[in-house]
Structure 1
Amino acid sequence: MKSLRVAAAGFALLLTYFAGAAAAQEFPFGSHRQSYADDVLKPKGKQKALDQKVAAFYAEWKAAYLRPGCGAGQYFIKADTFSGATVVSEGQGYGMLVLALMAGEEPDAQAIFDGLYRYYLAHPSKVDPNLMAWAQDADCHDIMGGDSATDGDLDAAYALLLAHKQWGSDGALNYLAGAKRVMTAMMASNVVSRTNLTNLGDWVTLGKSKYSFASRSSDWMPGHFRAFAKKGSKDWKDVLAATRKTAARLQTTYAPGTGLLPDFVVDTDATAKPAPKGFLEGETDGSYGYNACRDPWRFGVDAALSGDKTSTKIARKISAWARKKTGNRPGKLRDGYALDGSPLVEYQSMAFVAPFSVAAMVDPDAQKWLDALWTSMVETPAEGYYPDSIRLLSMIAVSRNWLTP
């Protein structure tokens, strides 16, 4: 770890050469200047102790997954994925979020953020070059089609708005202009005008495949859409409304006892429903799997910061089911469920455990559950790029260190 810190410090000097002197952050980690909605829960313990636990896990995450390389002034997040990709746009989005949120705790946050963004810019999608090609190999070459995946660009745009909030946009990289460029591209290439829901990526051609009116529930990020409507096009208000309406309807129709959402949703132009088995990725495409496991975080963080009633209801329903299902024991959670709550496997990871902590913040009966989830997040050893990134972002949210642009 010491050698990595030395290398990172040296690389930060190189980035300073490219970007100029770093600006002081306006909302440093641990300052808690961002307000949360009334009556939002947080884990028991002193705030300083909570922040220290987040900072400690950030240091682990950084040592394990943050890498310089692929080009002058670039950083990437090393993603150990089943697909064989070394880097994915999802990971770049996570990394950009983390660095914008950990500024202050991380002394080189702006330099590293700029390096992640430079990598993002260096790998444009072959379909819409204002978005990122979703996967690269160990030699930094685009692979698997060279097109986009919606979630990575959504997180990158939100992170760029946070960077503008933290450091302004008068330096070598104009974060606000970059965010607006990505938001405009996503509205054109990732939002289906007939439904106002996100598609699976810029590779989907409307009306020419079975994927034309399909969406991932994990791409439904109401907090992002709320920010995009304020900082970009007002059309994002329609995306926000459609997202909440569709999620609530799916809960009522297909998961009345659990509130769980499926990985993939089809027929969004008519009556949205869970995807059939084998629709895109496998047998669990219509179940609560490795995509949808992020939903409690996405809806929960919006509910916690905006106080939105619909997001709160959606997150609270999932949280109430989870704590009753497990008797407030996170160790009983499993990596995947049918929408009726039947477990699909007999193992677990933080990819599924951690997001429930964010939803628990807006569940008034969940203090014991939230405390148990926090302990689990703090005490579980590192597991890998995907669960660890989701865990870190969830810990940032529940420790009240999330930010809105």
Structure 2
Amino acid sequence: MRLLYLTSFLLVLACLPAWGQTPKKLKPWDKGAFETGNYRNLFAEAGYAQEEIDAKLNNIFYNLFEGPNKVYFEQGDSLAYISDLKNNDVRTEGMSYGMMVAVQFDKKEMFDRLWRWSKKYMQHNDGALKGYFAWNCKTDGTRNAQGPASDGELYYITALIFASNRWGNDLGINYLKEAQYILDCAMAKDGTGEVTNFINMKYKLITFVPDVQRDTYTDPSYHIPAFYEVWAQWAYDGRSEFWRECAAASRNYLHTAIHPQTGLNPDQTEYDGSPHHTGRIIGKKFRFDSWRVPLNIALDYSWACKDREWQQSYGHNIQNFLYSQGIDTFVDQYNIDGTIVTDTFQTRGYKALRHSLGLVASSAAVSLVCSHPKSPEFIDRFWKADNKPYNDGYFDAYYDGFLQIFAFMHLSGNYRIIVPKEETTLSGLKPSDFIVEVESKPVALYVLKNKNGLEACITNYGGRLVSLMVPDKNSKPTDVVLGYDKITDYLKSRDYLGALIGRYGNRIANAKFTLDGIEQKILTFGNGHSLHGGVRGFHTCLWDAIQVNGQTLELRYLSVDGEAGFPGNLNVKVTYTLTDDNAVDIRYEATTDKPTVVNLTNHSYFNLSGVPGSQIADHLIQINADRFTPFDATFIPTGVLESVDGTPMDLRKPIAIGAHIDDPYEQLQKAKGYDHNWVLNTQGDITILAAKAISETSGIIMEVYTNEPCIQFYTGMGKKNNGKLGVNYPSRGAFCLETQHFPDSPNQPNFPSTVLRPGENYVSRCIYKFSICQSTKP
């Protein structure tokens, strides 16, 4: 008999999870998933089998969305809602939570149904509330309230971005456009109609409610800093830096809102973290909303890990406090100093303090940040917990259920940052090879495509055109621009491959000019002059990117007063559009708050042949110009407009680039080829051809149109470079056609002015249009 008992005991012991026998310290990770792409599975570390973990997670999902106590209800062929059953209503909180779970579980139909219901019944289409969501509706869609609650918008936006990353935007719903719409509408709110931005712009913190009465305080449980990091990376709304500032502000705020010993926080606070006194039962105490805070901090730690030391201390504090109250008996409402409340919140006639599943769940999830031996006990209790009626009959399938599934997703490593799928580009470029941070700003590769098979890949580092795929005469996609395979190659090079150029393209003599009687000294680059805005020109800048649609990318940059020596804060927007008539249309716009000079262009290197590593001597070139600007020994224009008649500079009719490039002509010998500015005959008319290039090998024609007065034709005399696909780019392996104003205009009174003044708008356009000819004749 004693042997039988011993055998039974050993069998039971063998079935216990590893730390169920002897709790041990955990070791929190020191890097977040944004950096590593990895997620911690604390249940597996506890010794639970993966099959058990998966089965339990699937059962929690089933109970919440499909079981007899489900909160998810389909409506017709295309809609669905999440109901808070105890209140028999629909809330933006639950709808956006449901969408987040759906995208995490890769359930597109469920996600789409919930989003369509949200748009149809909850989102305002006009008026002061346009873009926001009515936070509370009946299950038939009738609104119980018109105003929004900011946490709903927070989750909607993040879930939509994840949906865009997971499923793309071409299968019925443009998720990214919907997220951008909410953001743009919110950022436009200025108090008109008593509606404000859901982000308080002074503090960069989320509001409790975005209206003039309630945007003066916040709710700690609305603070999920890592969500802003997601927006900064993939919202593509041109506000990346702002969202990162919001993330930092949110982390700092939590330090002030949470009690330094108990780890408890009020449900509502002022922006300085002090309790907000509402005069009602909800506000200054730790109640239902506050249960979410440990869960949110666990998320921020797991994903971003940017506030490691404080978050670890917080995790220990709140678990120590709850443990001191009894790990199986701590209740769900406290004063923030840890004393028991005397006034419990009543829900549908139920008023008891409980050991609530929602707080059991979130207090277990925060184990992700902890290193003390109490955490395994919290995880064990959560593993054993079920969402079922309490002793007093109270049951919350909705709120307890969502906190249960979110916590279980975290602890099993299944609540993840959903990154965009690796897109297959025609050029073979991998977007993942362009994901990096430079000066704390994200770099990425953006892919534009038109219906005819053209594809442009552009990075926001320097606004560079990295590849441009154009069908040749045999319909084979052909990359017609030089570049590199990886962002690291661009970062270590000093060249201009595909880059946006500014503030001033081409040269300014002696790196200085006089404007309104004041001498301006700018950065030098080569021969004591300024070239292309200097060594820190726009080609090295991080541009804020907004992918407007599959064919349009907007890039924005603020060149601050004094940058590279140029006066004035210059706001620049450059729009790349891939048109359906097979053109790359580049539009440059700028405004300034002080008089300055501006001359923007693009420095793409073209080779139309489709033969990697070949030279361009056999390309035909045509430039619609009767005159050019000769230069001196240091490449500064002499001020003369010289006729091309009878010279190798006469390119008015198509001629091979190599036909006269080595002629004993002084200007060509100085440059060792073509590197000159032609004065166009187009008079700024963008409908008139400015230049044309043709490859007889591929049959590709490139036409150039512009409203600029000049064009720089350069035949690539630089050093050899190893470019895309390991190809060695030879000297004269490409040509540039850079639309521009006159070089050195600020110092040349006879040249048209490039001065931009406050109140004026700088607008420049360059169109590279592609077509095919079967013969080499133009």
Q: Fold match, TM over 0.5?
A: yes
1:125-159, Cα deviation, whole Å (9 max, x unpaired): 46432121111113311122x12111111111111
CA distance, structure 1, for counterparts of residue 293 and residue 312 of structure 2: 8
The residue that corresponds to 2:157 in the other structure is 157
Q: Are 1:242 and 2:249 an aligned pair?
A: yes
Letter of the structure 1 residue corresponding to residue 277 of structure 2: P
Change (3 A) 1:309 1:37: farther
The residue that corresponds to 1:77 in the other structure is 82
The residue that corresponds to 1:54 in the other structure is 57
Q: Are 1:67 and 2:70 an aligned pair?
A: no
* Kept in 2: contact 1:127–1:147 (CA 8 A): no
1:103-132, Cα deviation, whole Å (9 max, x unpaired): 2xxxxx111110001011112146432121
| Alignment size in residue pairs | 349
Deviation at 1:39, TM superposition (A): 9.6
CA distance, structure 1, for counterparts of residue 142 and residue 387 of structure 2: 37
The residue that corresponds to 2:112 in the other structure is 114
Taking CA–CA contacts closer than 8 Å with sequence separation of 6 or more, which of the two structures ends up with the larger relative contact order?
Answer: 1
1:76-127, Cα deviation, whole Å (9 max, x unpaired): 001135xx45101001011001111112xxxxx1111100010111121464
Deviation at 1:264, TM superposition (A): 0.5
Selected match of 1:393 from 393, 406, 423: 406
Change (3 A) 1:380 1:50: farther
CA distance, structure 1, for counterparts of residue 41 and residue 56 of structure 2: 24
* Kept in 1: contact 2:257–2:274 (CA 8 A): yes
The residue that corresponds to 1:90 in the other structure is 93
Larger helix proportion of the pair: 1
240-249 or 368-377, which moves further after superposition? Answer: 368-377
Letter of the structure 2 residue corresponding to residue 240 of structure 1: A
State the SS of the aligned residue for 2:81. Answer: strand
* Kept in 2: contact 1:87–1:135 (CA 8 A): yes
Letter of the structure 1 residue corresponding to residue 416 of structure 2: L
Deviation at 1:250, TM superposition (A): 2.8
Q: Are 1:264 and 2:268 an aligned pair?
A: yes
The residue that corresponds to 2:415 in the other structure is 402
CA distance, structure 1, for counterparts of residue 158 and residue 325 of structure 2: 33
Q: CA RMSD in A?
A: 2.6
CA distance, structure 2, for counterparts of residue 187 and residue 390 of structure 1: 30
Change (3 A) 1:288 1:364: same
161-170 or 217-226, which moves further after superposition? Answer: 161-170
CA distance, structure 2, for counterparts of residue 37 and residue 185 of structure 1: 37
Change (3 A) 1:172 1:38: closer
* Kept in 2: contact 1:87–1:137 (CA 8 A): yes
Q: Are 1:383 and 2:380 an aligned pair?
A: no
CA distance, structure 2, for counterparts of residue 115 and residue 379 of structure 1: 25
**Identity across the alignment (%):** 19
Selected match of 1:197 from 188, 205, 213: 205
Task: State the TM-score, normalized to the length of structure 1.
Answer: 0.79
* Kept in 2: contact 1:88–1:135 (CA 8 A): yes
Q: Which runs of 5+ in 2 are unaligned?
A: 1-35, 189-196, 345-352, 390-394, 419-778
Change (3 A) 1:336 1:89: same
Deviation at 1:67, TM superposition (A): 0.5
State the SS of the aligned residue for 1:143. Answer: strand
Selected match of 1:320 from 308, 317, 341: 317
112-121 or 298-307, which moves further after superposition? Answer: 298-307
The residue that corresponds to 1:374 in the other structure is 382
The residue that corresponds to 1:18 in the other structure is none
* Kept in 2: contact 1:354–1:390 (CA 8 A): yes
The residue that corresponds to 1:11 in the other structure is none
* Kept in 1: contact 2:263–2:321 (CA 8 A): no
* Kept in 2: contact 1:265–1:286 (CA 8 A): yes
Bigger Rg over Cα: 2
Matching of residues 267-282 of structure 1 within 5 Å: 268=271, 271-278=272-279, 282=280
State the SS of the aligned residue for 1:68. Answer: strand
* Kept in 2: contact 1:37–1:307 (CA 8 A): no
1:60-87, Cα deviation, whole Å (9 max, x unpaired): 1002111112x65111001135xx4510
Letter of the structure 2 residue corresponding to residue 384 of structure 1: A
Letter of the structure 1 residue corresponding to residue 144 of structure 2: I
The residue that corresponds to 2:306 in the other structure is 308
Letter of the structure 2 residue corresponding to residue 65 of structure 1: V
State the SS of the aligned residue for 1:273. Answer: coil
Selected match of 1:45 from 45, 48, 51: 48
The residue that corresponds to 1:357 in the other structure is 364
The residue that corresponds to 1:341 in the other structure is 338
CA distance, structure 2, for counterparts of residue 287 and residue 361 of structure 1: 25
Letter of the structure 1 residue corresponding to residue 179 of structure 2: A
Larger strand proportion of the pair: 2
CA distance, structure 1, for counterparts of residue 40 and residue 52 of structure 2: 22
CA distance, structure 2, for counterparts of residue 350 and residue 315 of structure 1: 23
The residue that corresponds to 1:293 in the other structure is 291
1:175-205, Cα deviation, whole Å (9 max, x unpaired): 1222222233344420111111111223x12
1:314-356, Cα deviation, whole Å (9 max, x unpaired): 3641443324532595422211111111233531222222111
Letter of the structure 2 residue corresponding to residue 403 of structure 1: R
Change (3 A) 1:272 1:323: closer
CA distance, structure 2, for counterparts of residue 373 and residue 308 of structure 1: 29
Change (3 A) 1:186 1:342: farther
Deviation at 1:42, TM superposition (A): 5.4
CA distance, structure 1, for counterparts of residue 108 and residue 355 of structure 2: 34
1:223-262, Cα deviation, whole Å (9 max, x unpaired): 21111121232211121111111111233xxx12112221
Q: Which runs of 5+ in 1 are unaligned?
A: 1-32, 104-108
Task: State the TM-score, normalized to the length of structure 2.
Answer: 0.42
1:2-42, Cα deviation, whole Å (9 max, x unpaired): xxxxxxxxxxxxxxxxxxxxxxxxxxxxxxx9513799995
CA distance, structure 1, for counterparts of residue 231 and residue 44 of structure 2: 26
CA distance, structure 1, for counterparts of residue 304 and residue 332 of structure 2: 29
CA distance, structure 2, for counterparts of residue 286 and residue 259 of structure 1: 14
Matching of residues 197-216 of structure 1 within 5 Å: 197-202=205-210, 204-205=211-212, 209=213, 211-216=214-219
CA distance, structure 2, for counterparts of residue 391 and residue 56 of structure 1: 11
The residue that corresponds to 1:27 in the other structure is none
* Kept in 1: contact 2:157–2:179 (CA 8 A): yes
CA distance, structure 2, for counterparts of residue 34 and residue 399 of structure 1: 15
Deviation at 1:371, TM superposition (A): 2.6
Selected match of 2:229 from 212, 226, 250: 226
Change (3 A) 1:161 1:306: same
Deviation at 1:275, TM superposition (A): 1.0
CA distance, structure 2, for counterparts of residue 374 and residue 348 of structure 1: 12
Letter of the structure 2 residue corresponding to residue 46 of structure 1: A
Change (3 A) 1:213 1:92: same
Change (3 A) 1:42 1:244: farther
* Kept in 1: contact 2:267–2:289 (CA 8 A): yes
CA distance, structure 2, for counterparts of residue 336 and residue 74 of structure 1: 36
